[in-house]
Amino acid sequence: MPSRISRIEITPVAFRDPPLLNVVGVHQPWALRAVVEVHTDEGSSGVGETYGDEEHLARLRAAASRVVGCDPYDLHGIRRAVAVPLATGTGDAGRSFGGMLDLDSAVDTVFAPFEVACLDLVGREVGRPVSDLLGGAVRDRVPFSGYLFYKWAGHPGQPDDDWGEALKPEAIVDQARRMVRDYGFTALKLKGGVLPPEEEADAVEALADAFPGTPLRLDPNGAWTPETSIRVARRLSATLEYLEDPTTGIGGMAEVAAGTDLPLATNMCVISFEHLRPAVLAGAVQIVLADHHLWGGLRRSALLGGITEAFGMGLSMHSNSHLGISLAAMVHLAASTDHLGYACDTHYPWKTQDLVEPGVLDFVDGSVAVPTGPGLGIELDRDALGALHEQYLGCGVRRREDAAYMRTVDPGFRANTGRW
């Protein structure tokens, strides 16, 4: 008899997050995640990490009751089991992204942490790293980009954080210098969509001056019209490695693509498998950002990688605010995906707490060594998990609401999507 999943624990956690600005508002003081632990009747276990907003938590719990009894190898069966309670009423699946993304279905976002946990579990059982279960690591270190944000000096009513305000090009350059000094990043990404496009282009050019030769990316998250996108893309065509989601929609991106030679990347207009065909037919994007939390786990993200390779598109990796379980999973996915040709995004430097034992996921020269231990190669720090769960219970945040939080400061704020 194959082993069966006998018990699943879902633990929401909260960790402090700086006031990072984006197209829909500003990060709340607490970022939410959920830890999914899967146990078998034979005493094996594995972990996954995902979004922690209350709608997603409710879906995870509904799914977990159906995943119990499944074989941890039967990932297809687990995905089907997860899909059953999600067949209706998942129209708000975009909630996990603070309003930045529209998702038609929650199946892949709910399935993902169960899949990662099962791969961790199987890897532990057979004594192999998850990268081996994905076909083998093609690299032993995974490079990440330094993720730069416009930000306030501190959350309203709270002391300044130690990053301080970043609203001008010089401050973005200072932020980058610290990122590069502390982590060794050899690629940099600026989250845009916050200030008028020319100001963001100024910041990119300041970065190019300060870090000559370093690949640079700008992600306005759809804040611009196609016309503006083409204008700024032409200005930055020799400066950027790629421009991510300057405008919204496959049609809009295709219009921009036709007007510039600068490669366009997306984590907004192609966020599930059914978006690939129209994007290919329209010639809308040159690079797709994988994200295993969004695309249904590591194996389906590898499928996305294979599709981008087959269709002549590039592959990079997206990040939301996350902790160490997600980082480990991202590293195993990136390590086993030969086609991944860009440094991966990560919010990791912005957090000040974690729930995995230290020492495995350190950044050296901007890269994280692929864990070689069984499964994800990390261990949960139970005390830290408990502390982050206590923070969840006490923090009062239950959803990611960047726009609503921004309106506590700027009551007239509306998302910058398509603003310029």
Annotated active-site positions, please?
191, 318
**Contact 371/328 with Cβ under 8 angstroms?**
yes
Which of 71, 199, 205, 379 touches a second copy by CB under 8 A? 71
Q: Is 76 in the site for a second copy (CB under 8 A)?
A: yes
Which of 121, 133, 216, 268 touches a second copy by CB under 8 A? 133
Q: Is 357 in the site for a second copy (CB under 8 A)?
A: no
**Contact 329/298 with Cβ under 8 angstroms?**
yes
Q: In the bound complex, what is the minimum distance in angstroms from residue 173's beta carbon to a second copy? A: 38
For residue 103, give the nearest of 279, 267, 317, 345 by alpha carbon: 267
For the chain, give the longest Cα–Cα distance: 63
**Contact 208/230 with Cβ under 8 angstroms?**
no
Question: Among residues 127 and 386, whose Cβ is nearest to a second copy?
Answer: 127
- Convert residues 28-67 into a mask of x (bound to a second copy by CB under 8 A) and - (unbound): ----------------------------------------
Alpha helices in 292-361 (DSSP H): 298-310, 324-335
The identity of residue 419, as a single letter, is R
Q: Is 73 in the site for a second copy (CB under 8 A)?
A: yes
Under DSSP, is residue 190 helix (H, G, I), strand (E, B) or coil?
A: strand
Q: Is 135 in the site for a second copy (CB under 8 A)?
A: yes
Q: In the bound complex, what is the minimum distance in angstroms from residue 1's beta carbon to a second copy? A: 11
**Contact 241/216 with Cβ under 8 angstroms?**
yes
Which of 69, 77, 91, 341 touches a second copy by CB under 8 A? 77
Residue 220 phi, psi dihedral angles, 5° rounding: -80, 0
Token duo for residue 6: 């006998």
For residue 200, give the nearest of 241, 162, 160, 243 by alpha carbon: 243
- Convert residues 246-285 into a mask of x (bound to a second copy by CB under 8 A) and - (unbound): ---------------------------xx-xx--xx----
Q: Is 291 in the site for a second copy (CB under 8 A)?
A: no
C-beta atoms surrounding 31 within 10 Å: 25
Q: Is 153 in the site for a second copy (CB under 8 A)?
A: no
Which of 10, 16, 66, 74 touches a second copy by CB under 8 A? 74
Name the residues that contact a second copy, by CB under 8 A. 2, 71, 73-78, 80, 125-126, 128, 132-133, 135-138, 273-274, 276-277, 280-281, 299-300, 303, 306-307, 309-312, 336, 338
